């Protein structure tokens, strides 16, 4: 009997294999049917996951589009992260690359001291801006965390045409959510680009209106 290796499934029985005239071992029709069924179920699961991701991306896209009239880009990004990703501890900073300065644009569920510490630009937030790439502390286990970064889940760089517009700090996830999943990373990639475009659009509009 051959084991499956992971200990979860029973080992294949010898009766599942058929000896052919050439001496090679073939899989019995029953096993083949079962394998096809498993493959179909796995495909179906993938389809459903992709479909759900498209629904979420669509909702996020429509929500960002609404901000063009409602001028609430940061609230919209906060809502997308809370409802579609699963965190209510978010801070969004405008970034001014020429002077390398962060300015808090919006925050929710984070203490003022922590927001100020992030705004100083040290640690992950600064590294994200400097390297122009989003940072995920749980994927970078060798990078030391500063005291206020212990709950940090991600620093997302909002980048439009190679220019950094802002950075999102996402701290703790909701209690029912243990970690970011595949679809969450896709949504965050979407925010990196389209959140940046919406934020920049709002900033330009404000500059145009200001005397």
Partner 1 sequence: MSTKKILLVDDSCTARLVNRMIFSQKPRYVLVSAIDAQEAVDRAREEKPDLILMDIVMPRMTGLEACRALKKDKETEKIPVILLTTRGEEKYVQEGYASGCSDYLTKPVNDAELLDLLKAYLGE
Distance CA 45, CA 81 (A): 24
* Burial status of residue 139 (CB atoms within 10 A of its CB: 0-12, 13-18, 19 or more): exposed
| Binding-residue pattern over the window 1 to 40 for partner 1, x denoting contact by CB under 8 A | ----------------------------------------
Nearer to partner 1, 4 or 46 (CB): 46
Note whether 50 binds partner 1 by CB under 8 A. Answer: no
Stretch that binds partner 1, among 135-143, 155-163, 175-183, 194-202 (CB under 8 A): 175-183
Nearer to partner 1, 49 or 100 (CB): 49
CA distances from residue 108 to 22, 35, 48, 114, 207 in whole angstroms, order as listed: 69, 48, 32, 12, 25
Distance CA 26, CA 56 (A): 44
Note whether 179 binds partner 1 by CB under 8 A. Answer: no
**Binding test (CB under 8 A) with partner 1, winner from 4, 38, 47, 55:** 55
- Residue that the structure tokens 């206020």 belong to: 148
Edge-first strand listing for the sheet containing 154-160:
101-108, 90-96, 163-170, 154-160
Tell me if residue 9 falls in helix, strand or coil.
coil
| Binding-residue pattern over the window 119 to 158 for partner 1, x denoting contact by CB under 8 A | ----------------------------------------
Note whether 80 binds partner 1 by CB under 8 A. Answer: yes
* Burial status of residue 141 (CB atoms within 10 A of its CB: 0-12, 13-18, 19 or more): exposed
**Binding test (CB under 8 A) with partner 1, winner from 4, 46, 50, 66:** 66
In the bound complex, what is the minimum distance in angstroms from residue 175's beta carbon to partner 1?
5
CA–centroid distance for 141 within its chain? 18
Distance CA 172, CA 174 (A): 7
Note whether 86 binds partner 1 by CB under 8 A. Answer: yes
Note whether 62 binds partner 1 by CB under 8 A. Answer: yes
Nearer to partner 1, 130 or 174 (CB): 174
Instruction: Give me 204's structure tokens.
Output: 């330009």
Note whether 82 binds partner 1 by CB under 8 A. Answer: yes
| List of residues contacting partner 1 (CB under 8 A) | 48, 52, 55-56, 58-60, 62-63, 66, 76, 79-80, 82-86, 88, 174-177
């Amino acid at each position: 009997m051959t084991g499956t290796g992971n200990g979860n499934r029973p080992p294949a029985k010898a009766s599942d294999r058929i000896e052919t005239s050439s001496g090679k071992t073939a899989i019995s029709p029953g096993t083949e049917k079962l394998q096809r069924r498993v493959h179909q179920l796995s495909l179906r699961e993938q389809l459903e996951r992709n479909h759900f991701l498209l629904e979420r991306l669509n909702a996020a896209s429509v929500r960002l589009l609404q901000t063009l009239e409602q001028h609430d880009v940061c609230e919209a990004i906060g809502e997308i992260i809370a409802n579609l990703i699963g965190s209510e501890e978010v801070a969004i900073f405008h970034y001014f690359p020429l002077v390398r300065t962060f300015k808090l644009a919006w925050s929710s569920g984070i203490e003022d001291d922590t927001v100020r510490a992030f705004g100083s630009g040290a640690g992950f937030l600064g590294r994200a801006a400097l390297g122009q790439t989003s940072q995920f502390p749980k994927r970078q286990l060798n990078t030391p965390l500063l005291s206020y970064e212990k709950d940090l889940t991600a620093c997302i760089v909002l980048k439009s045409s190679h220019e950094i517009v802002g950075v999102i700090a996402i701290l703790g996830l909701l209690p029912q959510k243990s970690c970011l999943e595949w679809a969450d990373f896709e949504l965050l990639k979407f925010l990196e680009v389209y959140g940046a475009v919406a934020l920049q659009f709002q900033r330009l509009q404000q500059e145009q209106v200001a005397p």
